[in-house]
Chain A
């Protein structure tokens, strides 16, 4: 069955976030720094009455700016570097992730679980994979990434 996804770029890879109601995308902004927070926490932002921790997804996933050879889209296909924050919710926990840029919204069919290593990422953090126009789209497990004990 197909579901709606928001696709975004990060370090040359394409990721998908399942659309569960409204998703907010805001320009990147510096969050309120919280001393002693996890290293991948950029800070807190106050948006429309809610406080969102903003997680640096690149750092959490241990990604450099570019994908490993063989996995990256060509430079000419890469979007201009531009950071945005996607505001989401996981199990009643509102949070934001900083990303390179939003690609588009689309309908995707989720496929089998990811193999042990997908595009250099730890499979524990991947919920599944989907494909569109022969491009692999990584669907992340945010619960494991951010709310599973760090």
Chain B
């Protein structure tokens, strides 16, 4: 099975989201995140990952959700390098041979669609796939 069909399921304010395992480098605890003036408001600051400072995204700020930034830090990679993303919890890893279902038309402004990689069914519910390329642009 391709690694692209394995997802890490995470939770954010009680809803489930997924990131592709192929993009995940590490799951860790957010510690010593340094504020940095040059980052936009959606970023909590920078985290030192293997000797290199990487930006840490507060996903709740991006999604306009309430609550604290989250107690789990995911280290992800995309075409620009490594970056951190704060979430509430990681739930499990799932494998699926189904193609993600596109976000239906009419749900959001098309300019925001790159934030999502589609939808998968998981535990009798719908899980939104997060697309790190879009989120960190």
* Complex contact A38–B108 (CB within 8 A): yes
Q: Choose from B63, B65, B109, B125 the contact partner of A32 (Cβ within 8 Å).
A: B125
Q: Which single member of B65, B105, B121, B128 contacts A93 (CB below 8 Å)?
A: B105
Asked whether B107 is an interface residue with its Cβ less than 8 Å from the other chain, the reply is yes
Q: Which of A36, A53, A55 contacts B64 (CB 8 A)?
A: A36
**Chain B residues, CB < 8 A from A44:** 104, 107, 119, 126
Whether B105 contacts A34 by the Cβ 8 Å rule is no
* CB contact under 8 A between A35 and B106, given known A44-B126, A46-B126, A51-B126: no
Q: Which of A75-118 contact B (CB under 8 A)?
A: 93-95
Q: Contact flags (1/0) for B100-116 with A, using CB distance below 8 Å?
A: 01011111110010010
The distance in angstroms between the C-alpha atoms of A72 and B126, with both chains bound, is 39
Q: Determine which of A36, A51, A146 lies in contact with B106 in the assembled complex, contact meaning CB atoms within 8 Å.
A: A146
Q: Which residues of A contact B41 (CB under 8 A)?
A: none
The A-contacting residues of B in range 7-36, CB under 8 angstroms, are 15
User: What band does the interface of chain A fall in when counting residues whose beta carbon is under 8 Å from B?
Assistant: 20 to 34
Q: Is there an interface contact between B104 and A93, defined as CB atoms closer than 8 Å? A: yes
Q: Are B107 and A53 in touch, CB under 8 angstroms?
A: yes
Q: How far is the CA of A41 from the CA of B107 in the complex (A)?
A: 6
On whether A41 and B126 interact (CB within 8 A), knowing A34-B103, A35-B65, A46-B121, the answer reads no
The answer on a CB contact under 8 Å between A55 and B119 is no
Contacts of B62 in A (CB 8 A): 35-36
- Closest chain-B Cβ to A96's Cβ sits at a distance in Å of 10
Chain B residues with CB below 8 A from A95, complex form? 104, 106
For A52, list chain B residues within 8 Å (CB).
Answer: 104
Task: Please report the C-alpha to C-alpha distance between residue A59 and residue B63 in the assembled complex, in whole angstroms.
Answer: 21
Known: A32-B15, A44-B119, A44-B126. A38 touches B109 (CB 8 A): yes
- Please name the 5 residue pairs, one residue from A and one from B, whose CB atoms are nearest each other, closest first: A35-B63, A32-B126, A146-B106, A53-B104, A37-B108
The interface of chain B, by Cβ under 8 A from chain A, is 15, 62-65, 101, 103-109, 112, 115, 119, 121, 125-126, 128
Seed contacts A36-B108, A38-B108; 8 additional CB < 8 Å A-B pairs = A32-B125, A33-B15, A35-B62, A35-B63, A46-B125, A53-B104, A146-B106, A150-B109
Which residues does A use to contact B, with CB under 8 Å? 32-38, 41, 44, 46, 51-53, 55, 93-95, 146-147, 150
